[in-house]
Amino acid sequence: MEIFASLAQPTRLEAFRLLARYLPYGLPAGDVARLLAVPHNTMSTHLSQLERAGLLTSRREGRSIIYAAKSGKVGSLFEIMLGEMRPDRGDDFPRRRPTDESKGYDVLILCSGNSARSIMAEAILNREGAGRFRAHSAGSSPQTRPHPLAVELLSDLGYDTADLRPKSWTQFAGKRSKAMDFVVTVCDAAAGEECPSWSGHPLQAHWGIPDPAEVKGTKDVQRAAFLAAYRRLAARLTAFVNLPVETSDLAKLKRDFAAIGRMEGATEATKFAEVI
């Protein structure tokens, strides 16, 4: 009863689902709060409740408290949930980091204006995938500056936004450009355009989510739209950094890469998109 009561609260359920993706190592409490866009103090209360219910363990590493999900405690009922969220159950699954930085993967994230969704995705992936993934973003018709509400949200969540700027995707096109390993479109407009030729023969997928910049209304309504876009991007990129890229065969990697785009909040165009 205590387990079900703890997971009945939406934020605690999302926190447990997130930590299940990072078995067995877990995440610092601050990272959980940031990825779910919940104030740190509020998230600490939720994590403590989950720990009291026996769903999490905690340990201290330096100045951080690391929380990890306890899959054994919840039994077979939640094994089904964990199986859906973890494409590979191998012991080496979470966050493998290459020892040589040159072995990292370059990921290009595209959106027509490169001012909101792709900018946020670049910031998220460069932090979550640091040491393993290097994120870049660009657009077919880049704006002159990032959207102010995207910058405001990222700053409030502790991201360094100083170097974020819209860029043309032509900077990454052609044989002389830096080779990309993955190319992701996060808006339907960019996915529908004729893309340049990318160096390196990258895997390509469409992860379309609604454009928060198109939402009208008060500032609070607009901020809520950007927060929703951030949460959807964070969920997708969390799943992405946990893909067993180093060990998957190409066919499975293509399927898993494409499937990420069909997570909650996907646009209709994404549901029918296929990885290239």
**Structure confidence by residue, pLDDT tens digits, 204-237:** 999 999 999 999 999 999 999 999 999 899 989 9
pLDDT at 102: 52
pLDDT at 61: 77
Lowest-pLDDT choice from 98-102, 113-117, 158-162, 259-263 = 98-102
Whether the predicted pLDDT of 185 surpasses 90:
yes
CATH 1.10.10.10 segments of the chain:
2-85
Q: What stretch of H or E contains 58?
A: strand 56-61
To the question of pTM greater than 0.75 for the whole model, the response is no
Question: Rounded CA gap, 146 and 144, in Å?
Answer: 7
What is the pLDDT confidence band of residue 169, given thresholds at 50, 70 and 90?
very high
Closest by alpha carbon to 195, among 172, 213, 211? 172
Whether the predicted pLDDT of 242 surpasses 60:
yes
Question: Rounded CA gap, 42 and 241, in Å?
Answer: 26
Mean local confidence (pLDDT), 155-168 = 92
2-85: CATH topology: Arc Repressor Mutant, subunit A (1.10.10)
CATH 3.40.50.2300 segments of the chain:
101-271
Listed in sequence order, the DSSP H helices in the chain are 2-7, 10-20, 29-35, 40-52, 71-85, 117-128, 148-156, 188-192, 219-241, 250-260, 268-271
DSSP 162-228: TT----BGGGGBSTTSPPPSEEEE-SHHHHHS---PBTT--EEEE-----GGG--S-HHHHHHHHHH
Cβ contact 21:239 at 8 Å:
yes
What is the pLDDT confidence band of residue 126, given thresholds at 50, 70 and 90?
very high
pLDDT at 33: 87
Per residue in 14-58, pLDDT tens?
A: 888 888 877 777 888 888 888 888 888 899 999 999 998 888 989
SS3 call for 69: strand
| Residue bearing the bigger pLDDT, 111 or 158 | 111
Give the total residue count for the chain: 276
| Residue bearing the bigger pLDDT, 146 or 84 | 146
Residue with tokens 């997971």: 7
What is the pLDDT confidence band of residue 90, given thresholds at 50, 70 and 90?
very low
Average pLDDT over all residues of the chain: 83
101-271: CATH architecture:
3-Layer(aba) Sandwich (3.40)
Question: Rounded CA gap, 66 and 56, in Å?
Answer: 10
